[in-house]
Amino acid sequence: MHRRRFLRTSALGLGASILPASAYDGAFGDMRPRVGLIGAGWYGKCDLLRLVQVAPVEVVALCDVDSTMLAKAADLVATRQASRKRPRTYGDYRKMLAGHRFDIVIVGTPDHWHALPAIAAMEAGADVFVQKPISIDITEGQAMVAAAAKHKRIVQVGMQRRSTPHLIDAKERIVEGGKLGKVALVEIYCYYHMRNRRTPEEAKADVPPNLDWEMWTGPAPMRPYNGIVHPKGWRAFMEYSNGIVGDMCVHMLDLVRWMLGLGWPASVSSSGGILVDKASIATTPDTQEATFDFGEVKIIWQHRAWGSPPDPEYPWGATLYGDKGTLRASVHKWDFTPRAKGGRAEKGEAVQELEQFPEDKTEVGVEKHAAPAIRKHMKDFLSCIANRDRRPVSNIEEGYISTTSCILANLAMQTGRTLHWDAAADTIKDDADARKLMTRPYRGPWVHP
């Protein structure tokens, strides 16, 4: 293996408040960490550009199956990184990994393309930042955990609620401060109208000439192209995602697990389906409830892609009920309400760092409230690369637990049964038919890890 060294922060004049030299001295010496991005669409670019903001990296290559999107991303990166060099571009991640030596690879593809590129990057010697959910099925996640251990790679999962400043504040002040008391029930939820409503006729479209549809589909089932799926609309289809549970529930479930120090749920049950919007071509459920049973704590998820939220102030979030008070938390703010008469209510709001990072003001697609959390998440990732005895706050094992728990919710709804998880054996208990669903079939020539 080549020697991995990190550039001292003073070399590019970065302030200690952004990247403390003491945390990274000696990790890469006088070399800039070499970075590659697989999946140059919306959140792939968001993650990459936040890394560029906080570390003196050199983005050497980008990969995407959309040639137009890829070219625009390469042009943008050239304006943002210190060297002003335009990264090399590739349409196949295997060629990208074979053509360069990488220190860090970011995987920002659709969900069905997370596992294979992430594992290949680890095998190539790179540390990996992979978006959530880590996998499309449970077996993929197990293979990713095994690859990280085998190749001794640092892996950070893009569940950046664990690095969100105002939520860290809520965890420390309210949860760890004992102000909730005994928490036995948590509600997590999403009421955004995020399921595409177009009918099959309305969604008809030809494959654009700039898109390699064969490679985009990859190991997923081959389906006719439609005008929803690309870009950004693929979560409407279970062929490429785990639906709203895999997108929105995984964030809030992971948030609560982190806040309360929870591991695996003992069992997961779920019900729902396409109950309202039956005309759409979308295959994801428009309605779903799930119960994650952690023993003395029950976490209940609900999403509706229709109707109104019970609390318009919290259309996507978590409500933690304690015997001393209640905490509501979202990506934008939190509120604590004490139960005792005369108790002091508390609240906090998301921070934005627009003056420190003015490019956030004009960058297309960036979520201004989330950018500080991604930067903090990247700093934690970099710190663990420098000190390999540390584990990232959202390491691959934590990402696997939250991802698998959400997949279990979908499988529980599919089978109509409560599924019990054996954490020691890493499998579903006493249900051979459900265990078969832990692995989705791959389309050839792709081979399931």
- Give yes or no for a contact between 266 and 409, defined as CB atoms under 8 angstroms apart: no
Quote the Cα angle for 372-373-376, to 5°: 85
Q: State how far the Cα of 211 lies from the Cα of 207, in Å rounded to an integer.
A: 7
pLDDT, tens digit only, all 449 positions of the chain: 333 333 333 333 333 233 333 344 445 556 789 999 999 999 999 999 999 999 999 999 999 999 999 999 999 999 999 999 999 999 999 999 999 999 999 999 999 999 999 999 999 999 999 999 999 999 999 999 999 999 999 999 999 999 999 999 999 999 999 999 999 999 999 999 999 999 999 999 999 999 999 999 999 999 999 999 999 999 999 999 999 999 999 999 999 999 999 999 999 999 999 999 999 999 999 999 999 999 999 999 999 999 999 999 999 999 999 999 999 999 999 999 999 998 999 999 999 999 999 999 999 999 999 999 999 999 999 999 999 999 999 999 999 999 999 999 999 999 999 999 999 999 999 999 999 999 999 999 999 99
Position of tokens 């706050």? 393
- Give yes or no for a contact between 170 and 336, defined as CB atoms under 8 angstroms apart: yes
User: What is the pTM (predicted TM-score) of this model?
Assistant: 0.93
Q: State how far the Cα of 92 lies from the Cα of 95, in Å rounded to an integer.
A: 6
Domain 164-353+396-436, CATH among 3.30.420.10, 3.40.30.10, 3.30.360.10, 1.10.357.10: 3.30.360.10
| Predicted local distance difference test score (pLDDT) of residue 134 | 98
Q: Which residues pair with 66 in a beta bridge?
A: 211
For 191, the token pair is 């009421």
- Angle at which helices 115-123 and 138-151 cross, to 10°: 10
Residues recorded for the chain: 449
| Predicted local distance difference test score (pLDDT) of residue 27 | 55
Q: State how far the Cα of 242 lies from the Cα of 245, in Å rounded to an integer.
A: 6
Sorted by sequence, the CB contacts under 8 Å of residue 76 that are 6+ apart come out as 45, 49
CATH 3.40.50.720 residue window(s) in the chain: 9-162
Give the CATH architecture of domain 9-162: 3-Layer(aba) Sandwich (3.40)
Q: State how far the Cα of 309 lies from the Cα of 233, in Å rounded to an integer.
A: 23
CATH 3.30.360.10 residue window(s) in the chain: 164-353+396-436
